[in-house]
Amino acid sequence: MRVTRSLLSLALALAVVLPIGLRAEEPPHYTFSPAPPGTVTQNVLLYMAGQAMHSQWRAVASKKLVGTDSGTKFYQWYLSIYQIDDTTYTLRYRSPTNGAPLEKVTKAHGGGMWYPLQDLTIVGAGQFSMASVDQLVVASHQTGADCGAATVTVFGYDFKKNKVVQAVRADNGCSLTATIVRGKSGALDSLRLSGPYYDKTAPMCCPTKPKASAMLRVVNGKWVESPAYYDLNRKY
């Protein structure tokens, strides 16, 4: 979908005009173009370009069976992010096609198994950087050996480039979950990250703190984690 600068400016203007908390209504009947691959597990409505008319987005998690071995089913997971155009949600980003957080699942050499083993959950949408503008939070886990690696990714919309981008990513061994903490009295939202904490010398079997948590929030335009338990990759 092509979005001209004038339309983009109008959308931003309308987003400012609408009061915080007022959500533009979604068309009662809509379609996806192209459709999410496989079986849909989650379908979440959000407003990545502001809460204006015709500014709805949808994030869809889905999975597609790629093979079976000894009764175990192996799936390729997908994250698809759509922006509405009239009554059609047009694809703007898909993982693994457009990159992280998911990798392409492939068959193991000389065997009947597929790797990596994957799982993906849409945590929800939060207003972390700007009031009335949603960012998408996704938690994923991929295993090739041992306990694998977990990632929490925050996606946003870059108004200047007119594209979906990764705002920040937190990585951890074995597991990592995220909970959106809603801001009070007009404050922005933040993320609570939870999982084992490993210092630089700790092996995967033996975390330094089996149960730890850290807060991730935007401070003066920059993502800040406190305490710095998990590997942070700031994208923009």
Nearest to 119 by CA among 75, 82, 155, 80: 75
- Biggest CA pair distance of the chain: 60
State the pLDDT confidence band at 23, using cuts at 50, 70 and 90. Answer: low
Q: Is the dihedral of CA 93, 178, 143, 199 positive or negative?
A: positive
pLDDT of residue 89 exceeding 50, the answer is yes
Residues of the chain above pLDDT 70, percent: 88
Range 64-78 burial, b when 16+ CB lie within 10 A, else e: eeeeeeeeeebbbbb
- Token look-up 């999410």 returns 36
pLDDT of residue 70 exceeding 60, the answer is yes
Residue 93 CB neighbours (<10 A): 20
Q: Which residues contact 203 (CB under 8 A, 6 or more apart)?
A: none
Q: Which helix (H) or strand (E) holds 169?
A: strand 163-173
Residues 172 and 151: their CA atoms lie apart, in Å, by: 6
Q: What is the mean pLDDT of residues 85-89?
A: 93
Determine contact, residues 60/138, Cβ cutoff 8 Å: no
pLDDT of residue 17 exceeding 60, the answer is no
8 vs 96, more confident: 96
Peptide bond into 210 cis (omega under 30): no
pLDDT tens digits, residue range 103-154? 999 998 877 899 999 999 999 999 999 999 999 999 999 998 789 999 999 9
DSSP state for residue 145 in the 8-state scheme = S
pLDDT of residue 53: 61
Nearest to 189 by CA among 131, 234, 120: 131
What Å distances lie between residue 39 and 16, 36, 119, CA to CA? 37, 8, 13
Q: What is the mean pLDDT of residues 84-102?
A: 96
pLDDT tens digits, residue range 128-141? 999 999 999 999 99
pLDDT of residue 4 exceeding 60, the answer is no
pLDDT of residue 111: 74
pLDDT tens digits, residue range 180-198? 999 999 999 999 999 999 9
Q: What is the mean pLDDT of residues 9-17?
A: 39
pLDDT of residue 10 exceeding 60, the answer is no
Peptide bond into 34 cis (omega under 30): yes
What Å distances lie between residue 163 and 1, 16, 92, 160, 230, CA to CA? 11, 20, 7, 8, 27
- Token look-up 């996806």 returns 32
Average pLDDT, the chain: 89
pLDDT tens digits, residue range 52-69? 767 899 999 999 999 999
Q: Which two tokens stand for residue 152?
A: 């929490």
pTM: 0.87
Q: What is the mean pLDDT of residues 34-46?
A: 98
Query: Where does residue 202 rank: exposed (0-12), middle (13-18), buried (19+ CB within 10 A)?
Result: middle
pLDDT of residue 74: 96
Q: Which residues pair with 219 in a beta bridge?
A: 222
Q: Which helix (H) or strand (E) holds 71?
A: none
Q: What is the mean pLDDT of residues 12-16?
A: 38
Q: What is the mean pLDDT of residues 28-35?
A: 93
